[in-house]
């Protein structure tokens, strides 16, 4: 009972994290990477739910839902793969060739269609029979394809997608991501490690129960996969929310951003300024010394030291970048449609007076006077 409560909490956690990633996170540049991760957690939670529905016989209330997770299972690992691929390969959207990854899902969806359209009474009788003999879940052929093909597919598919994900991390793009976006790379590495551990453990459990300890209680070997599954997804959910910097990296990940070469020993403030300006790191909530250093993935003390080679302090440097951005917007006619106050806020200044002072110090003129030179 206690374990089932933990299992239920795990399902709720997976749904909540999936909802947060889909609705609340709102990435700034594209959403394919975050929504793929959200889909991974959501599909898992859907499939987890049916364990409790069947165990506590709630499935008798909704027998028409029986076997719904069977094809959905084949969407879980493609979603994980696309999360990794979208970041490593900087893929910003679904492509026409990606439909091939839906083939197993479509095949098994079609296979179970006749059962899905059975009348309510027929399904109720069948589900009642299943609950009296749970071994029928793995052996009773109710689809167009024999059930053993589904069982085989659920072993082969994880192997294929885990290999594909490791291949992405080991590729040239993966190596580049490791050098330039260490936090994101570390997240993807741990994400793939968790999947690998879970599948390997499940496979080892099944193999051991059948070939080495067939006399051991079946319930014991049924408990281990459930325990491993719950542990893995608890770890995944907690790991994401414990490390808020990962969520920030996912939120602000920009496939077109200019990244810092950490192997370059000749880094100077001009290079840093170009990267910060190009990626607009001075906007948003993380525009202080710590926030900008985190986005650059360098030590704040090192960043401060670089800044002081040319500027008085961090504020003087960051305000210079903000003013430069405001000058770009003015040239594009921003003040024709918006106020000075709006311009100051858009460029990351906390007050209009600070914006005026910084602008005057850098250009020796006011924003309006500067704008008039382009009219």
- Whether 261 has a pLDDT exceeding 70, the answer reads no
CATH architecture observed for domain 2-252: Up-down Bundle (1.20)
What are the pLDDT digits (tens) for 22-78? 999 888 788 999 999 999 999 999 988 988 898 888 998 989 899 999 999 999 999
Q: Which helix (H) or strand (E) holds 225?
A: helix 218-242
Dihedrals φ, ψ of 94, to 5°? -65, 135
What are the pLDDT digits (tens) for 103-157? 999 999 999 999 999 998 899 998 888 888 877 777 778 889 988 899 899 889 9
Does the 269-372 domain belong in CATH 1.10.10.60?
Answer: yes
Q: Residue 21: its pLDDT value, please? A: 94
3-state secondary structure of 255: coil
Structural tokens at position 290: 């710590």
Structural tokens at position 140: 């009773």
- Whether 158 has a pLDDT exceeding 70, the answer reads yes
Nearest to 19 by CA among 240, 186, 285, 196: 240
Structural tokens at position 311: 């500027």
Q: Residue 247: its pLDDT value, please? A: 87
Q: Residue 94: its pLDDT value, please? A: 92
Nearest to 166 by CA among 191, 202, 200: 191
- 213 pLDDT band (50/70/90 cuts)? very low
Please give the angle made by the CA atoms of 352, 356 and 360, to the nearest 5 degrees: 170
Helices 300-307 and 269-279: angle between axes, nearest 10 degrees: 110
**Do 246 and 183 touch, CB atoms closer than 8 A?**
yes
Q: Residue 217: its pLDDT value, please? A: 43
**Do 108 and 139 touch, CB atoms closer than 8 A?**
no
- 79 pLDDT band (50/70/90 cuts)? very high
Residues of the chain with CATH 1.20.1070: 2-252
Q: How many CB atoms lie within 10 A of CB 48?
A: 21
3-state secondary structure of 364: coil
State how far the Cα of 243 lies from the Cα of 235, in Å rounded to an integer: 12
Q: Residue 215: its pLDDT value, please? A: 44
Q: Which helix (H) or strand (E) holds 7?
A: helix 2-19
Residues of the chain with CATH 1.10.10.60: 269-372
Q: How high does pLDDT run on average in the chain? A: 85
> Does the pTM of the predicted model rise above 0.75?
no
């Amino acid at each position: 009972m206690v374990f089932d409560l933990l299992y239920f909490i795990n399902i709720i956690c997976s749904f909540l994290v999936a909802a947060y990633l889909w609705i609340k996170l709102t990435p700034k540049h594209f959403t394919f990477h975050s929504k793929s991760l959200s889909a991974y957690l959501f599909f898992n939670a859907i499939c987890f739910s049916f364990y409790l529905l069947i165990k506590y016989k709630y499935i008798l209330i909704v027998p028409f839902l029986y076997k719904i997770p069977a094809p959905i299972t084949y969407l879980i690992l493609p979603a994980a793969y696309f999360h990794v691929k979208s970041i490593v390969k900087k893929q910003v959207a679904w492509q026409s060739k990606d439909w091939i990854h839906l083939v197993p899902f479509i095949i098994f969806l079609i296979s179970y269609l006749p059962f899905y359209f059975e009348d309510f009474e027929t399904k109720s009788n069948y589900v009642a029979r299943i609950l009296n003999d749970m071994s029928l879940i793995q052996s009773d052929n109710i689809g167009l394809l024999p059930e053993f093909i589904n069982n085989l597919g659920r072993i082969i598919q994880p192997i294929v997608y885990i290999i594909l994900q490791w291949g992405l991390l080991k590729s040239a793009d993966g190596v580049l991501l490791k050098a330039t976006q260490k936090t994101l790379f570390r997240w993807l590495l741990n994400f793939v490690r968790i999947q690998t551990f879970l599948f390997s453990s499940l496979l080892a459990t099944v193999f051991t129960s059948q070939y080495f300890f067939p006399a051991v209680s079946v319930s014991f070997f049924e408990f281990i996969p459930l325990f491993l599954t719950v542990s893995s997804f608890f770890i995944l959910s907690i790991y994401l929310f414990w490390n808020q910097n990962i969520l920030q990296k996912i939120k602000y990940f920009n496939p077109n951003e200019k990244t810092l070469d950490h192997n370059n020993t000749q880094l100077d403030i001009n290079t840093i300024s170009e990267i910060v300006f190009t990626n607009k790191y001075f906007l948003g909530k993380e525009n202080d010394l710590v926030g900008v250093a985190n986005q650059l993935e360098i030590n704040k003390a090192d960043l401060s030291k670089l800044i002081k080679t040319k500027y008085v302090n961090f504020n003087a440097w960051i305000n210079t970048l903000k003013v430069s951005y405001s000058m770009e917007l003015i040239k594009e006619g921003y003040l024709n449609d918006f106020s000075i106050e709006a311009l100051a806020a858009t460029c990351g200044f906390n007050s209009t007076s600070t914006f005026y002072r910084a602008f005057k110090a850098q250009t020796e003129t006011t924003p309006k006077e500067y704008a008039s030179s382009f009219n």
